[in-house]
Every structure is written in C-alpha cells, then in structure tokens.
Structure 1
Amino acid sequence: MEVQINDVDLLTITPAVTIDYDAENDWICVTWTGNHSKESALVFTKEIEAALRKENCRKILNINENFYLSWQEAPVWAIKNWFPRLFILGCTSFAWVLSPRFSSGPVFTEVFKTQTPFLQAMVFTDEETASAWLNEN
C-alpha cells in the first residue's frame, strides 16, 4: 500500500521496516526496527531495490537506530553483493546510520572506507549528519 504524506511516498510499511521516497531530497529512506536475521534482512533488501527502481533516484538513507542484527558478515555482504546491484539500479550514494546498540560499528566504518568501488557509502552515528552528507553527494 502506497501513501503520500507531504513530499514523502510511503512505499512499504511493516513493523520491521518502513521504506519511503522523500521527493524533496530525492532519496529512498529505509527505517529498520527490531531484531533481524540474515534472512529477514535479505527479504527487505529486495523491497529496497524495488523502491529504488520505482522512484528512479540515486540515493539511499538507511536508518538503523532501532535495529538489531546478529549477522556479523552484513557489511562485507553489502559491499560484495548488494551494492553492485544498487549501483546497476542507479544508486550512487548510500548513507548508513548505525544503531547505537550495534557493536560492529568500527567494522562497518573500516569496511566501507576500503571496499566500496561501486558507490559512495558512508557510515554515520546520527540521521542529521547522514542526511547532510547525502545532500552534498
């Protein structure tokens, strides 16, 4: 079900993930909530890809502030498998806002710094800084 509020189109609304298109900023905003496994994360990455195709934009704001994931290989998987697909769909900038509960923040930061050949990806600790970075890129 798609709903529009102001300049935001809500594309996917579930208790686990909300995906919307922010027309003012021209990006997909993904807000993760709760505990996720590798399997659930993979299901929702397909939803994010569908949103990117539908809206034909170049940027993703990925908010994980209320997110729990025990899948330690997630950053490496994202760079090797998911980011190339996002790039093919036209994504050039990806801002990843880490959960304060996420113990692998330094791992994400280091992996993204050294291994993002397909698109610009940065890790942030707050949504405001991530949004500012996306607006500059």
Structure 2
Amino acid sequence: MQLRPIVDTPGISIGYDEANEWLYVDWKGEHDADSSWAACGLMLEILRAFPCAKILNDNSNITRTTMQLSARSLEWVAQMHAAGLRYLAWVLPRQLISRQSTEGVVLDIEAPTVCTFDDLASAFGWLQRQGNAG
C-alpha cells in the first residue's frame, strides 16, 4: 500500500492510498477518551479536506485503549457519512476490552457501512470489493 502522507502525529497517521482511492488511518500507541476524540476530530477534518467514500481504519497498532463506543460515537459516524464516507473497514485493536458491545453498536449503524476485522489483510480485501457510489 503506497500512501501519500497527509498527517502524522504520535497517536495517528493518515495517508491517501491513490491506487484504491481511500484514506488509510493508522492509530498508534495508547489512547484514552481525550486522545481518541482528538483523533476522530482529525479524521473528520481530513475527510472534509480530502473527500473519499472509503476509509481503512487500522487500530491494530493501538497498545492500550479505554475508549468505548457511545451515542457521541454514533454522532461522529453520522458526521463522517455527511462528509462523504460510505464504507469504513475497521481493524479492531488486539486488546479490545468490550468487543461484543463494540460489534453490537456497529450493527446498529445504518450509514456508512461499517465492518469490523481482526486483521488488516481481511479489512483491505473487503474494502476493495465495495463500490464507490454514494
């Protein structure tokens, strides 16, 4: 995956994959609620600046997180959809505490289409198979 770098911070890197026409978001290190919301805000800002229908959201490099999905998370997803996001492939952190509740919330999301994965290769393949139409 060759990426055009857009932003690189200690907690998150975002690049544009020109071949696949999507954003790749690589979360890194430890995240708490504050750092997670800051990263989500950055993702929304980047999506608005670099509109695309797909995001490969890779949380596999998170070493520790206390973030859990909430009503605020669903509002953020709706904002991402309004900004043009149609498909989100989400590689879950290896150390996810509340996997079952996370996947339950994801199932309730009507738009964009969100699918969770345990590994980057599966997420990549799924996202490639999704259409680009909004």
TM-score by length of 1: 0.86
Residue 75 (structure 1) shift = 5.5
Residue 52 (structure 1) shift = 1.1
Aligned equivalents of 1:7, 1:54: Cα separation in 2: 20
Amino acid corresponding to residue 108 of structure 1 in structure 2:
T
Aligned equivalents of 1:21, 1:32: Cα separation in 2: 15
Residue 51 (structure 1) shift = 1.6
Aligned equivalents of 1:49, 1:123: Cα separation in 2: 19
2:115 pairs with 1:119? no
Aligned equivalents of 1:22, 1:11: Cα separation in 2: 10
Change (3 A) 1:124 1:76: farther
Residue 47 (structure 1) shift = 1.2
> Which residue matches 1:14?
9
Alignment of 1:1-137 (within 5 A): 7-67=2-62, 68-72=64-68, 74=69, 76-78=71-73, 80-113=74-107, 115-137=108-130
In structure 1, stretches of 5+ residues that fail to align are: 1-5
Aligned partners of 2:11 and 2:39 also within 8 Å: no
Residues matched between the structures, number: 129
Report runs of 4+ in structure 1 exceeding 6 Å deviation: none
Q: Cα RMSD over matched residues?
A: 1.6
Secondary structure of the equivalent of 1:118? coil
TM-score by length of 2: 0.88
Aligned partners of 1:32 and 1:63 also within 8 Å: yes
Overall identity of the aligned pairs, in %? 27
Residue 77 (structure 1) shift = 3.5
